[in-house]
Amino acid sequence: MEIIMSFVIGFLFMAAVYLMLSKSLLRIIIGTGLLSHGAHLLLLTMGGLDGDAPPVVSPGVSNYADPLPQALILTAIVISFGVTAFFLVLAYRSYQELETDNMNLMRGTEDHD
């Protein structure tokens, strides 16, 4: 299962980098979202995908799953939601002011591709 997850994580990172290198601001925001999802899956996979053990220690249980990766992923989801919301508001406001989402035109260069 970890092999399949590593391919999915690699595909998410590949798509995120491709989108973040584009000129459109909306594609950059989608790329950062994909990158955060890839990081969440990476943390989950590194924590182990053994679903038989309970995540908490109770009396008489010797085999248990580590709850730290789940807590890290939950925290990262909340942070990435806040960052994505901020990016979307920033993109909306910059589109209102500049009437474009092309990064080259926002920079002031005259490349009209």
Q: pLDDT tens, 18-63?
A: 999 999 999 999 999 999 999 999 988 887 776 677 666 677 777 7
43 touches 73 (CB < 8 A): yes
- Give the pLDDT confidence score for residue 87 in this predicted structure: 94
Bigger pLDDT: 98 vs 85: 85
Longest Cα separation, the chain: 70
Six-digit token pair at 59? 């009396």
Distances (CA, A) of 88 to 3, 39, 73, 78, 83: 34, 20, 22, 16, 9
Evaluate if residue 110 carries a pLDDT over 70. Answer: no
Six-digit token pair at 99? 């009437």
Q: Return the sign of the alpha-carbon dihedral for residues 94, 96, 99, 101.
A: positive
- Give the pLDDT confidence score for residue 2 in this predicted structure: 86
User: Which domains, ranges and CATH numbers included, belong to the chain?
Assistant: 2-49+66-106 (1.10.287)
- Give the pLDDT confidence score for residue 15 in this predicted structure: 97
